[in-house]
Structure 1
Amino acid sequence: MTKQALYSAVASNQQSKQKGPLARAFHRTFTMGALKPHAKTLLPYFNKPGGKFVEIGARDGINGSLTPYLEKALGWKGLLIEPWPHLFHRCRKNRKSSVSLNVAASEKLLRDSYIEIVGLPPSASVRKTLLQEAKERLEGKPIQVPLPNQVKRKQVNYVSTNSICGILERSNFDSNFELLVFNLTGYEDRVLEGMNFDRYKPTFLLFRTFSTNVNLPGLPHCYQKIVSSQHDGRTTLHLFRYADFGDN
């Protein structure tokens, strides 16, 4: 074994020991998944066992999700929010240690409501449907509730919508969670409208955006950006941390 390989093995063993017994059990068998490109930039801030997270836009719980490593390797408990029914069912199977909810996190205007999505991705988009529905509500379009036993048109999904605060309240999830993930790429500013930062103060907020710079006017000043990290060639992850000096 070369010196470089020996040093690498020793460092890996030391890192595994620092993570605790639960993390060591998965150290050799589970990869970091979507967090692998951020092992030196983002992960050090919350790379510890036994935390709690909420991920908005969890996909199937593995592909595209930013939290499987936290759950499977570090023993975190989580709340996974996914609007697409077909992805939600996969998510529930893939992430059995977390709670999965089939609901779309929305702005306040669409709290306790629903949207009708015709088609499936990539031709259909939850984000575009939410924006269109909010626009029509503001223009005075009435809500047309589906009739009981009404036969759905082909490839139509009726997806419940609620503000993130409403989702957290109904789920009875622990209000003292460490990480809130906005895996939304383009709708995070609207979802922030539905968050109550007086009641919920997660230590970290993680945003995935198409822009290398993030502009979130609805975010309290007590959250300060500490690092950004290129994700997949198209998107960037931005990590904010709560600073206990109050809102400016």
Structure 2
Amino acid sequence: MSAILNLHILIDGQQWHILSVPLADIRRLCHRPLKWLRFVAYAICGAEGTISLAGGGLVDYEDTLPQSQGGDYCYTPEGDCHFVDPGVTDERTSLASSRRAPRFRKMLQQRDGFRCLFTGCPTYEAAHIIPHSKGDNYIAALVQNRGRLYGANPSTSRLGIDSLENGLLVNNIMHTDIGKGICAFLKTPNFALATDDIPHVGDTPDTRYTVQFFDDDPFYHNWHNSDAHFRGDGTRQPCSLFFDVVYGASVFNTWAAGDMSRA
């Protein structure tokens, strides 16, 4: 049985247990488990911070950890927290429900190149990262609460639910699985992770947009850790803020434990 890494977040002087993740699962997602744990804590609580041993003591973020080494770790946020909405991907609806769907799809086709970004399949769907059903006000709240972490500027404040930055072309299975929390997308480098921290085949590009599946079903193995290839003009790429919110929510819903799982 794989060792377990327990993640706690320090809030008002108290450690709250939020995740229990098998080390074997983390290894599928990242070569350096503690760096991944740090990123996940950031994505969940909406504040930069550091990881330490739960009982006190420094950690080595570069440590790959032996397969048998579990343990308890604490994330200390540096600033106010804006916790992720675990239901961010709920109520995912068909693009047909949006009167602006044809324009949204056309913009994505021009940027992404008429193919699934990750598989190259010519059969694809125009997917919202934050579901269309959430609406423009939901996007505005995300930008207001977390935008500072991503260098928000006036153009960021104009983002809406049907903005190009909130979409990507994917195959129909990925589109469905985003809503189920089975997969999510990770941009590197980011606050905690470098591009080579994430498993890959071949050379590592300067910037990666990677699809990761939290379900280890063999069906997904060929797609897991695949990088996006923008075959169109590649302008106005997906917003890291939206990717990170969905990633944090998906991880939380998959491995929530302790205090937060009962909240």
TM-score bracket, normalised by the shorter chain, equals under 0.3
Q: What is the TM-score when the length of structure 1 is the normalising length?
A: 0.28
Q: With a CA cutoff of 8 Å and minimum separation of 6, indicate the structure with the bigger relative contact order.
A: 2
